[in-house]
Amino acid sequence: MKSKQNRSISIYSFVLKTYFQYLILSKISKRVLSKERFDTKRVSFLKQKGIETKHLFFQLGGVYIKIGQFLSNLFHILPEEYLWELQDLQDKIPPRDFYSIDARWQMDYGKSMNQIFTSLDTNSYASASTAQVHIGYYQEKKVAIKTLYPGIEETAKSDLGTISKVIWFVDRFVVRVSGKEVVDQLQSMIHAELDLRTELKNLKILKQMFALEKDFYIPNPVEELCNRHTLVTEFVEGKKIYELDLDLAPTKRSLHLEKLIRAYILMIFEYRFFHADPHPGNLIFMETGELCLIDFGAVQSISEEETQILERILVGSMRKDYHLVSESLMALGAVTDSLSKEELTQIVKYSLEKLNRILADTNHFRNLSFDTLKPGEDLRFLKEIQVSLKRLLSSLKLPPNFLSLHRVLALLLGNSSYLDPTRSMIEYAEKPFSQIVLKGSSLKRLWKDEGEEFLTSLFSLPKELNEFLYKWNRGELTKPDQLKSEELRLREILTFGFLGSLFFFFGMYYAEKSWKEPSIIFYILSGLSFWSLAKSSLSYWKQK
Least confident among 49-53, 277-281, 469-473: 469-473
Clarify whether residues 187 and 310 are in a common domain: no
Q: Identify the band that residue 182 occupies on the pLDDT scale cut at 50, 70 and 90.
A: low
**Region 11-35 average pLDDT:** 82
pLDDT of residue 298: 82
Residue with the bigger pLDDT between 350 and 366: it is 350
Residues 157, 165: Cα–Cα separation, whole Å:
13
Sequence letter at residue 474: R
Q: Which of 84-98, 117-131, 262-276 has the highest mean pLDDT?
A: 262-276
3-class DSSP state of 52: helix
Clarify whether residues 402 and 459 are in a common domain: yes
**Region 250-268 average pLDDT:** 91
Q: Identify the band that residue 122 occupies on the pLDDT scale cut at 50, 70 and 90.
A: very high
**Region 344-358 average pLDDT:** 87
**Region 365-385 average pLDDT:** 73
Tell me the CA end-to-end span of the chain in Å, nearest whole number: 82
Per the DSSP assignment, residues forming a β-bridge with 396 are 335
Q: For residue 332, what are the CA distances in angstroms to 115, 276, 313, 347? A: 53, 20, 10, 17
Residues above pLDDT 90, as percent of the chain? 22
Residue 271 belongs to some domain of the structure: no
Mean pLDDT (the chain) is 79
Q: For residue 162, what are the CA distances in angstroms to 9, 16, 125, 157, 176? A: 9, 15, 30, 9, 18
Residues 96, 113: Cα–Cα separation, whole Å:
15
Residue 448 belongs to some domain of the structure: yes
Residues 147, 96: Cα–Cα separation, whole Å:
11
Residue 140 belongs to some domain of the structure: no
3-class DSSP state of 230: strand
Closest by Cα among 410, 430, 441 to 318: 430
Residue 66 belongs to some domain of the structure: yes
Q: How many CB atoms lie within 10 A of CB 76?
A: 20
pLDDT of residue 179: 65
Clarify whether residues 311 and 167 are in a common domain: no
Residue 132 confidence (pLDDT) above 80: yes
**Region 388-404 average pLDDT:** 70
Please give the distance of CA 358 from its chain centroid, rounded to a whole number: 18
Domain count, the chain: 3
3-class DSSP state of 424: coil
**Region 34-40 average pLDDT:** 85
Sequence letter at residue 378: D
Q: Domain limits at 528?
A: 479-542
DSSP 8-state symbol, 195 = -
Q: What is the pLDDT of residues 295-333, one digit of tens each?
A: 998 888 988 888 888 888 888 887 788 898 898 888 888
Q: What is the pLDDT of residues 221-251, one digit of tens each?
A: 999 999 999 999 999 999 998 888 887 676 7
Clarify whether residues 467 and 506 are in a common domain: no
Clarify whether residues 170 and 309 are in a common domain: no
Q: How many CB atoms lie within 10 A of CB 186?
A: 20
Q: What is the pLDDT of residues 134-171, one digit of tens each?
A: 999 999 999 999 999 888 888 887 778 777 877 776 66
3-state secondary structure 231-269: EEEECCCCECHHHCCCCCCCCCCCHHHHHHHHHHHHHHH
392's CB contacts (< 8 A; 6+ apart) are: 339, 347, 382
Q: Which of 42-46, 219-223, 274-278, 508-512 has the highest mean pLDDT?
A: 219-223
Where are any strands of DSSP class E within 294-357?
A: 299-301
Residue 256 confidence (pLDDT) above 90: yes
Per the CB < 8 A criterion, the answer to whether 129 and 66 are in contact is yes
Clarify whether residues 83 and 172 are in a common domain: yes
Residue 537 belongs to some domain of the structure: yes
90's CB contacts (< 8 A; 6+ apart) are: 69, 72, 240, 242, 279, 280, 281
Clarify whether residues 429 and 499 are in a common domain: no
Residue 401 confidence (pLDDT) above 70: no
Closest by Cα among 351, 250, 246, 309 to 359: 351
Residues 479, 477: Cα–Cα separation, whole Å:
6
Residue 490 belongs to some domain of the structure: yes
pLDDT of residue 131: 87
Residues 71, 171: Cα–Cα separation, whole Å:
19
Residue with the bigger pLDDT between 32 and 205: it is 205
Residue 8 belongs to some domain of the structure: yes
Clarify whether residues 452 and 536 are in a common domain: no
Residues 396, 492: Cα–Cα separation, whole Å:
40
Residue 267 confidence (pLDDT) above 60: yes
Q: What is the pLDDT of residues 434-477, one digit of tens each?
A: 888 877 433 344 444 444 443 344 334 444 444 554 555 555 55
Residues 92, 229: Cα–Cα separation, whole Å:
21
Give the end of a domain, one of 445, 471, 497.
Answer: 471
Strands 131-138, 273-275: parallel, antiparallel or unpaired by DSSP? unpaired
Please give the distance of CA 31 from its chain centroid, rounded to a whole number: 37
Sequence letter at residue 458: L
pLDDT of residue 21: 85
Q: Which of 45-59, 68-82, 447-461 has the highest mean pLDDT?
A: 45-59
Q: Identify the band that residue 400 occupies on the pLDDT scale cut at 50, 70 and 90.
A: low
**Region 277-282 average pLDDT:** 86
pLDDT of residue 170: 63
Residues 425, 415: Cα–Cα separation, whole Å:
9
pLDDT of residue 456: 44
Per the CB < 8 A criterion, the answer to whether 322 and 352 are in contact is yes
Clarify whether residues 501 and 426 are in a common domain: no
Residue with the bigger pLDDT between 283 and 22: it is 283
pLDDT of residue 225: 95
- The count of residues in the chain is 544
Residue 538 belongs to some domain of the structure: yes
